[in-house]
Amino acid sequence: MKSGNKSVYRGMQVKTSRSAKIIIALLIIIVITLAALLFKDRIAKLLEPDVTYPDTSSLPADTNNAAPAKTAEDTADRSKPKLTRISASNYASDRGPLIVVNASTPYVFKDEDAELLTNLYTADHPGFSLATISESLLPEAYAALYKMTGKYVDMYGFCPIMVTASYRDFQSQDEYYKKNATSDQNKKYYEQPGYSDHHTGYSFDVKIYDEKGDSYSYVRYGMIKAEWITEHYTDYGFIIRYPANKASVTGIDGEGNHFRYVGIPHSAYITENMLCLEEYVKLIKRYGKDDPLEYEYNGVEYLIWYCDGSDGFIDVPAENEYTVSGDNGGGFIVTTAKPQ
């Protein structure tokens, strides 16, 4: 063999010898590692306590410590009242503090209207004065007015609120309209007979009448001479029926001295959200018994929902107190406090 070939052969032998040594070293490391792991596992088993655990698959359940099975009542939403269905004939859809009466929704007169009214002149009224002896309201509205003005007297000794217009029947509204709606310009301030909010028995106009006998516009001087009333009438269930910025909805230009009783919490929600009564009733129609409007007022959480009454029934709480008002459109609005 030539010397050049011998040198190449010797180089290959050297490289092969080094690779073999590396492979052998890796195999030795692997063997030692596996042996160490097996030895450790064996030692651990030898050190375990000689304890035999019983088979629990056939043992009875521990009824003392086990969590009780949930019932349908447990999983029910306790924030909503249990409901029951009552006949819609129990209530009139054209009666109640939330009925809407306007140019497109007339008031339905009934023979018993006059019998239900409270004459404010013959009734006790130490907290407010009257423009005429014929002023009348439904009992709910009268009670709220009495309470509100009575509170004012307790705090200040005298309440300057005078009721200038309350309930009107068709004839009296007809006379009032003909006397005042004498031009196209001022017709926007008056309601035609049969379409007046005053027919409801929940409405009245006011002005300021002080101890000296001087009278003032409530709209202009309410915040000066009867500030507490202006800031708290919603607490007694009242709203301003015709806000100045809602003429396009109500059909009546701003009439800031026209109070309307709608009840709590509706008065607070309407005022807080700057709505008029038409807008509020339209809003409530979006909320049914399964997804009522939730509203908190003075620490009480209220649920409010709408029933269209088309099937002849109204869904109401089975155990909680509630109120039902018609909307004057065939439907009903249910109000209740959320169960605690």
CATH code where residue 205 lies: 3.30.1380.10
Q: Is residue 16 part of a domain?
A: no
- DSSP secondary structure code for residue 52 in this structure: -
Rounded to whole angstroms, the Cα distance separating 295 from 170 reads 37
Residues 304 and 170 in one domain: no
Residues 220 and 115 in one domain: yes
Which of 211, 229, 261 is the endpoint of a domain?
Answer: 261
For the question of residue 255 being annotated catalytic, the response is yes
Q: Is residue 135 part of a domain?
A: yes
Whether residue 204 contacts residue 214, with contact meaning beta carbons closer than 8 Å, is answered with: no
Whether residue 120 contacts residue 135, with contact meaning beta carbons closer than 8 Å, is answered with: yes
Residues 301 and 312 in one domain: yes
Choose the catalytic residue: 135, 140, 191, 255: 255
Q: Which of 305, 297, 286 is nearest to 81 (CA)?
A: 305
Pairing state between β 129-130 and 161-165: parallel
- DSSP secondary structure code for residue 13 in this structure: H
Domain span holding position 326: 76-98+275-340
Angle in degrees, CA 273, 279, 281, rounded to 5: 105
Residues 333 and 206 in one domain: no
Rounded to whole angstroms, the Cα distance separating 82 from 62 reads 34
Residues 117 and 186 in one domain: yes
Q: What is the pLDDT along the chain (340 residues), one digit of tens a residue?
A: 444 444 444 444 444 466 666 777 666 767 666 655 555 555 444 434 343 333 434 434 443 434 344 444 444 455 689 999 999 999 999 999 999 999 999 999 999 999 999 999 999 999 999 999 999 999 999 999 999 999 999 999 999 999 999 999 999 999 999 999 999 888 888 999 999 999 999 999 999 999 999 999 999 999 999 999 999 999 999 999 999 999 999 999 899 999 999 999 999 999 999 999 999 999 999 999 999 999 999 999 999 999 999 999 999 999 999 999 999 999 999 999 998 7
Rounded to whole angstroms, the Cα distance separating 113 from 141 reads 15
Q: Is residue 210 part of a domain?
A: yes
Residues 228 and 330 in one domain: no
Residues 91 and 148 in one domain: no
Rounded to whole angstroms, the Cα distance separating 13 from 180 reads 126
Residues 220 and 337 in one domain: no
Rg (CA), the chain: 41
Residues 190 and 294 in one domain: no
Q: Collect all residues with Cβ–Cβ distance below 8 Å to 265 and sequence separation of at least 6.
A: 295, 297, 300, 302, 304, 335
Identify the residue whose tokens are 């509205």: 141
Q: How many domains does the chain have?
A: 2
Helices (H) and strands (E) in the chain, counts: 10, 14
Angle in degrees, CA 197, 200, 205, rounded to 5: 55
Residues 88 and 115 in one domain: no
Total Cβ atoms within 10 A of residue 90:
11
Q: Is residue 58 part of a domain?
A: no
